[in-house]
Structure 1
């Protein structure tokens, strides 16, 4: 075999591996409308598809909500949680919006507390890639190896492509989840029918507000009380109908 042929074959193999990874990831997330389940699928797919990766974690920050963590190994989930990860590679990648690589944690000095925890759990190398999902959600994909010198700079391109592709897919998952939630609210409103309309009228009278604002008040009460919109409306209408002493 001529040298140039061997070089092309090796390069093509890397391209094929990456394409297979992205196809598998797309197949796993393309129809999902459950964001947390999608994160778990991402962690499993990344662990199984990338050579040299022993475990994978995903850290996600959502505006106004607690951080979400998905992991391929529950015994190492602490590495991606803020409890240990505030000064670790995951949060560094999120803050700096750049790839973070530590080929051998025995020689790492950037995150002393996190590194001690990682080594105790058998982790010797890490590669964290930032993920941009939408205006409200950012995160990182964290690839871990049980041996030093396995996750090297040569894996950074694959990790970058994985993170960019995952960001697009997770944004679509969030859109589907929002659409599903809106459809559920519409179904609930239609099912509630007259009583929800009556409740909206009561709130409009009491607060001198628009119908849209009144519906938002009902929705907020429903969420705060963890009750269906119809039941909250029935209670409000019943209370308004009772004669005052």
Structure 2
């Protein structure tokens, strides 16, 4: 992923970034409602990334209405698609590049979006594209109350977050599709069995949750069967081995 900023050696704290990714994982890994998962994501990001005052998400879904989620309702208009390409979120989605403005007071792009943002108290913005699956793309949008505080540190963290969140949101989409007309008990079971399978892979491979979820999704794609079915087969296989 390319960025419009100059290179920098500044890097986010490893512990802080790891803690953020763990929080995001905990909030999304067993969710089966895509829009609810977006709401959890923006609240987690707002509270976890230093200097970020608000967070929003803009998502485009093929054949379905766009989704928008925001940590602060009064700023929801900034993530809305009515601005078209004349907004950071859509610029990031269309270009597939990280988009950044350290100080909107000197920004010449995205008029009249910038005027609206300034009136709402936003001084800095960082939008990073996120790929959920072949039918869903979006942008995670970070907003700052103070100018100049969204630095290279936040940019690197945002890029890591986008890759991580895309993987988890893809799993949420899988579970949501599989749930279909199932009753609430069946939906819960679907989330639990995926969570159990992730735990099994983490134990077997000594890898983090995101890598384990990626293994499950790769197996699902390769075999051409739903994620839940792959997870159930794995959990059942392990249970049988332990039983013998």
Q: Which runs of 4+ in 1 moved over 4 A?
A: none
The within-5 A match list for 1:1-245 is: 14-84=13-83, 86-181=85-180, 183=182
TM-score (norm 2): 0.69
Whole-Å separation in 1 of the counterparts to 2:112 and 2:118: 10
Q: What is the SS of the residue equivalent to 1:112?
A: coil
Cα deviations across residues 131-167 of structure 1 (Å, max 9, x unaligned)?
0000100000000000100112231110000000000
Give the aligned partner of residue 233 of structure 1.
Answer: none
Normalised by the length of structure 1, the TM-score is 0.69
In structure 2, the residue matched to 1:202 is none
SS of structure 2 residue aligned to 1:118: helix
Q: In structure 1, list runs of 5 or more residues that go unmatched.
A: 1-9, 188-245
CA distance in 2, matches of 1:86, 1:57: 17
Give the gaps of 5 or more residues in structure 2.
Answer: 1-9, 187-244
Larger fraction in helix? 1
Question: Deviation string for 1:166-223 (max 9, x for gaps)?
Answer: 0000000000001111646xx9xxxxxxxxxxxxxxxxxxxxxxxxxxxxxxxxxxxx
Post-superposition offset of 1:84: 3.1
Secondary structure (helix, strand or coil) at the match of 1:126 reads: strand
State the Cα RMSD in Å: 1.6
Distance 1:38 1:135 in 2: 19
Larger radius of gyration: 1
